[in-house]
Chain A
């Protein structure tokens, strides 16, 4: 194959960079999302670095923890509020979610990564007397993604990452699994699982979008 020609330095403004795996669960393929979770490990943003898991056990209810299990545990709340306002609320599974805007923010006290891609892989955070765990199983092969605003879920950014699908996944609060299962969904013109590891992710605002 001839080498693909590129513009080596993207002229846009880098917005944030890091890892951003997710688990989005439904009871049935044509139903609503019943349980949503995103992990963030951010190494660069205008609001600094940080780590977080956000979980929505009731995405459609405008109530935070402890009334409903809609919460975010993070070591950088300002960063997470920025990422929710400018990015997460635009992700298709989160659009219109009342729970996302009502969720409670708790300070992160500890975190750990468990397992490996051969069997099961987990991210865990703890804070405010609560633990949140995301676990991925049946982990597939990685594919590198590069999208322009036309295909980006925000509609306004260039985005690069590696995307690793998972056939099975679990969201747990205090080790109690939430309802729902992984389903296939359209993404980037393909059918992809609603549980995935997304690593080395870079979001860039192109000059004409600034």
Chain B
């Protein structure tokens, strides 16, 4: 629930959308494929779209062999997100793929569907076509977390979570392997596929 005063005394870092799909090799197995999409409406380095894709999180390789990439239509934004956000999320930063990450460009981004039923983000650029599909979507929840309950642990977070119980990452027409796992966020049991909308990260005063 909102707390007084109406104006948060912190400094807005970035704001936008950040849906993701993390696939695993069985409920307790390692991650097999990971994707985070960003549609940023405000950041200190401008607006833009970005997609972090680990085709194989467990290998320290990238293009042309493996599609472990940060795609963006604003490279400064892509690098900012990797440095200040993704690098502070253990599941992403500790993966060997993080150390080999290459930066590529986005030519086209398109959204399809409705987050009440089935929703898609379609991203393409440089010969890479990625389709993220979320289905079996739940009721939206408004979430507000103090820094200690977030992944990076250094900023407050306001966001909307819509969980998905069926999801896929399609790379150049082929589904990446793996299945959804479970995770807990702020005491709430959910899955590793999620739509995060209206997401704002705030540096506390």
In the complex formed, the residue of A with least CB distance to B141 is A9
A30-B149 Cα distance, complex, nearest whole Å: 46
Whether the pair A201, B198 counts as a contact (CB closer than 8 A) is: yes
A9 touches B143 (CB 8 A): yes
Map CB proximity to B onto A1-39 as digits: 1 under 8 Å, 0 otherwise.
101111111111010011100000000000000000000
A1 adjacent to B6 (CB under 8 Å): no
**CB-based contact A5/B146 at 8 Å:** yes
Interface flags for B165-191 (1: CB within 8 Å of A; 0: not) read 000000000000000000000111000
The 7 sampled A-B contact pairs (Cβ below 8 Å) are A1-B204, A8-B143, A10-B143, A144-B12, A144-B200, A145-B6, A200-B200
Contacts of B156 in A (CB 8 A): 4
B78 on interface, CB distance cutoff 8 Å: no
Asked whether, in the complex, the Cβ of B115 is within 8 Å of the Cβ of A146, the reply is: no
**Which of A14, A146, A164 is in CB contact (< 8 Å) with B141?**
A14
**CA distance in complex: A43, B140 (Å):** 11
Shortest Cβ gap from B199 to chain A (Å) = 6
Considering the chains assembled together, what is the distance between the CA atoms of A116 and B48 in angstroms? 11
A202 within 8 A of B: yes
A4–B146 touching, CB < 8 Å: yes
The listed residue (B142, B160, B197) touching A12 by CB distance below 8 A is: B142
8 Å CB contact of A7 from B1, B47, B140: B1
> How big is chain B's contact interface, by range?
35 or more
Identify A116's interface contact among B47, B143, B149, B197, CB under 8 A: B47
Closest to A144 in B: B8
Is A136 at the interface (CB under 8 A from chain B)? no
Contact across chains for B10 and A8 when beta carbons are under 8 A apart: no
The interface of chain A, by Cβ under 8 A from chain B, is 1, 3-12, 14, 17-19, 43-44, 48-49, 116-117, 141-148, 151, 158-162, 164, 188-190, 199-202, 204, 206
Query: Which residues of A sit under 8 angstroms from B116, Cβ to Cβ?
Result: 44, 48
Contact indicator B142/A202 (Cβ below 8 Å): yes
Q: Which residues of the other chain, B, contact A8 by a CB distance below 8 angstroms?
A: 143-145, 149, 186-188
User: B140 contacts which of A44, A145, A160 (Cβ < 8 Å)?
Assistant: A44
Least distance between B8 CB and chain A CB atoms (Å): 4
- The residues of A that contact B90 with a CB separation of less than 8 Å are none
Residue pair A200, B198 in contact (C-beta under 8 Å): yes
Interface centre among B17, B145, B156, B200 (most CB of A within 10 A): B200
Tell me the minimal C-beta distance from B180 to chain A in angstroms.
21
The one of A116, A146, A148, A188 in contact with B144, judged by C-beta atoms closer than 8 angstroms, is A146
